[in-house]
Amino acid sequence: MVPFLRILGIETSCDETAAAVVERDAEGHSKVLSDVVLSQLDEHSAYGGVVPEIAARAHVEALDELIEEALARANVSLADVDAIAATSGPGLIGGLLVGLMTGKAIARAAGKPLYAVNHLEGHALTARLTDGLSFPYLMLLVSGGHTQLILVRGVGQYERWGTTIDDALGEAFDKTAKLLGLPYPGGPAVERMARDGNPDRFNFPRPLVGEARLDFSFSGLKTAVRQAAQEIAPLSDQDVADICASFQKAISRTLKDRIGRGLQRFKAEFPVTGEEPALVVAGGVAANLELRGTLQALCDKNGFRFIAPPLNLCTDNAVMIAWAGLERMATGAAPDTLDVQPRSRWPLDSNAETLIGFGKRGAKA
């Protein structure tokens, strides 16, 4: 039987500095003892996006104090944790270096094993922490850097069924917001404006809708938004709201087709799973209420359970990193050596074809 385990998690892959302490009992039940996140939004908002050098310096300045705070909130010391888990990729290399080197130093000084965690695996396994979900299940990862549909077979066992062939969905939201003069971060700004807009005013394209493959494309949609804005410039507030609403509608219809095909494939490959099949959505874009509503309705129609972890566990956080480390420990996986290196690209499915959004360096990556 797997013993009771407690782990300290560290996350620094982009523009949130985070630390957390999480427990896992012998039956696999979890308990989050602390969850500390420091956002760098103010540092990057003036630039309309994340500046890697600024992010790395901010991690250096904040991480030690956040780790101390996470331990204090959990009412534990380093002697009370069984291991250290730190994000090792994918992400901005400067931030990854800060978090992983800190994790190595703590592991060496405290005599604890180190688990270098794939950030995407943290997202993939979060639903097991929050909802006790059993394998297998589907995960839609939608963030600023990734748009992927992944089959989660087990810890360390992932198959990429679909990915973006150009822009990630979060990137499309951010670039659309910037084009329309909306503030950073773009996703929430577009969603706010869309509430007062007419979603039928502009007939934006639904890329790849109707195709059998499960990939995504958002570059053409982004171009259509720019052309529409140029044709009616100068834009009124209502024009912006209508563009945002029509943009969101196009994305919702695209996801309905793409994910709907994925759900049908899952049912064909796993006709009997012992429980209701599940679709998990993760990543910052998962906070968009219209997209959540589209996915919920799609799951209801196809007999799937729809799981969207709490927002604080959809965006970057150290709880998911700690949990991924605990899941690996529970399988008996060996810890990483202290010479493990950070990886700016690190695909969950190393056998999949190299494409943008896949997380593996290639001709276009």
Given the DSSP bridges, would you call strands 83-89 and 114-118 parallel, antiparallel or unpaired?
parallel
* Side-chain half-sphere exposure of 271, counting CA atoms within 13 A: 1
- Tokens 């049908």 map to which residue? 264
**What percentage of the chain carries pLDDT values higher than 90?**
81
pTM of the model: 0.92
CA distance 129 to 319: 9
What residues are designated binding site for substrate?
A: 141-145, 174, 187, 191, 288
| pLDDT tens digits along 187-229 | 999 999 999 999 999 999 999 999 999 999 999 999 999 999 9
The count of other CB atoms within 10 Å of the CB of residue 93 is 17
Distance CA 107, CA 76 (A): 16
Given this model, what pLDDT does residue 206 score?
94
Closest CA to 138 of 15, 279, 287: 279
Output the pLDDT for position 1. 59
Annotated binding site for Fe cation: 119, 123, 316
Q: Which residues of the chain have pLDDT under 70?
A: 1, 273, 354-365
Q: What is the pLDDT of residues 108-143, one digit of tens each?
A: 999 999 999 999 999 999 999 999 999 999 999 998
Beta strands 157-163; 147-154: pairing state: antiparallel
Binding residues: 119, 123, 141-145, 174, 187, 191, 288, 316
> What are the chain's domains?
5-127+313-330 (3.30.420.40), 135-310 (3.30.420.40)
In DSSP notation, 60-108 reads: HHHHHHHHHHHHHHHT--GGG-SEEEEEEESS-HHHHHHHHHHHHHHHH
Is 89 in contact with 343 (CB distance < 8 Å)? yes
